[in-house]
Amino acid sequence: MVSLVKLNRWILSASAALLAAGLASCAPSAPPTAPGGSPATGGGGTISITGAGATAPNTLYQRWFSEYRTVKPDVQISYQSIGSGAGVNQFLAQTVDFGASDDPMKESDVAKFPKDRGTLVQIPTTGIFLVFAYNLEGVKGLKLSREAYCGIADGTIKTWNDPKIAKDNPGVKLPSTPLTFVVRSDGSGTTAVFTNHLSKACPNWKAGAGKSIEWPTGQGAKGNEGVTAQIKQTPGGIGYVEFAYARENNLEMATLQNKAGDFVEPSPDAAAKALEGQKPDANFVIKVPDPAGKGAYPIVSLTYALLYGNYPAPKGSTLRDLFTWTQKEGGTAAKKQGFITLPPELQKQVIAKLDTLEEK
């Protein structure tokens, strides 16, 4: 009897061990991680690319990366819309394959670039423009002079029927209700673009310019997504967001007065006028904080992808092909999404720069 009990126990132990081994062999395993902080390949030979950063071009990037997958089914691109400041930090920490920022890299950040990754490659991908989106029942086609939108941003205009707003909107019934200015609470290239414009356009602006500032007034929200949502749910709210977000969410957008004195409705064509004739520097930086051209929309910028000079194979060639494709084939999507395509000569220079990416 004792021998039979031992035999049964041995059979049960052996069966349990075989079952555990079988389950372990079926469990998913993490793909190998390559230098640069993300998996080199996923199951079935998929090449996984990760990026993070600017929220302003996010809608276009998601469209581009989805369309690229139809061209290269083996490439999986994951982009996190977390803000330019956080994107630059992740890029410098090598936890992503590429970063994205509406504000070009500062010298202090360039100094932190990992030396074993070659030379920093910073390329513009598209042009963006910022609007004053607002939520005011019954009011469409609002016009804001420079004096008016400067007053909104610095907090000296507190109600919607302020004379500085009313004078350019005759016949419009502006309420006496409080005005709520919505701003970015996170480190943001969009904020850098916006505050660089205010620094040039607003004589009384004292808060400076950059990804993060001490706002003299305003209610904070994270990302273009957060600011858009906050405006939508705040009667009397107004804030700065990228054009595509306001259009996609059916928000009203103000017509702004530019440096030439023209009142210009926000549109890709008007925004493109701000970039006409502008020459990039060696790092592809074009800054037009307050464009002087007649009919030019006043708050316009390029947005940038941040790349390492070298990658483990096959990431270098994959990223080179991806961003070359966005310039050669992504123009239709960019226009449909409300972004500005790069001028042809600048596109050629960007593609030539992408050819310098190396694989090691």
State residue 206's pLDDT score: 97
State residue 26's pLDDT score: 36
Task: Express each pLDDT in 171-214 by its tens digit.
Answer: 999 999 999 999 999 999 999 999 999 999 999 999 999 999 99
Q: Which residue is it, tokens 């957060």?
A: 226
State residue 193's pLDDT score: 98
The stretches in the chain having pLDDT less than 50 are: 1-43
State residue 44's pLDDT score: 55
